Amino acid sequence: MHSSYQPEGYTGLKTLLSTDEIHAGVARLAGEIRDQYAGQSLTVVGVMSGSLVFLADLIRHIREPLRVGVIQARSYRGSATVPGPLEVRTDLLPDIRDRHVLLVDDIFDTGRTLQRLMSSLRELQPASLRAAVLLSKPARHEVETRPDFTVFEIEDVFAVGYGMDYRDAYRNLPHIAALEPEEIQAPPP
């Protein structure tokens, strides 16, 4: 997909990270992961649904043997822009007991979701457990837990695109954009 591609109806959004910047960042992260897990089998677990584009691009760069699974964590409902209670579903996972596991998520905001997911996965007794995130918002961090790998740090904005959404819109943007407050209040295209 060409880096200037923009789906219809999504014009005028402020670009935070271009497609080319994202691809370079994901390739850089994959190199770090390859170094960390050299010679080891890996289970990569993506957090649905926001990390799926990131997950797909990332695993194409990893050459070590791997398995892929997903975990579902939901804290935003409908038009909410602040999280509610977190629901975690692990029934979509392969067996991770005694396996090296890398949890992949789209964004590290307050950190509460990642902290809870890591706790849930530790109960399944992996050999090791690390986390990688595409985006981190340092201004919003509320917990001591931190991802082991971060591709980009961003300001405190509502990011969409590259799999991330607002009310199920914008996931198909090939870049990452910031929604302005008036765009969050309006119905998505």
Catalytically active residues are 109
For residues 160 and 176, the answer to whether their CB atoms sit within 8 Å is yes
- Burial (CB count <10 Å: 0-12, 13-18, 19+), residue 7: middle
| 186 backbone dihedrals φ, ψ, rounded to 5° | -80, 150
169 forms beta bridges with: 166
- Burial (CB count <10 Å: 0-12, 13-18, 19+), residue 79: exposed
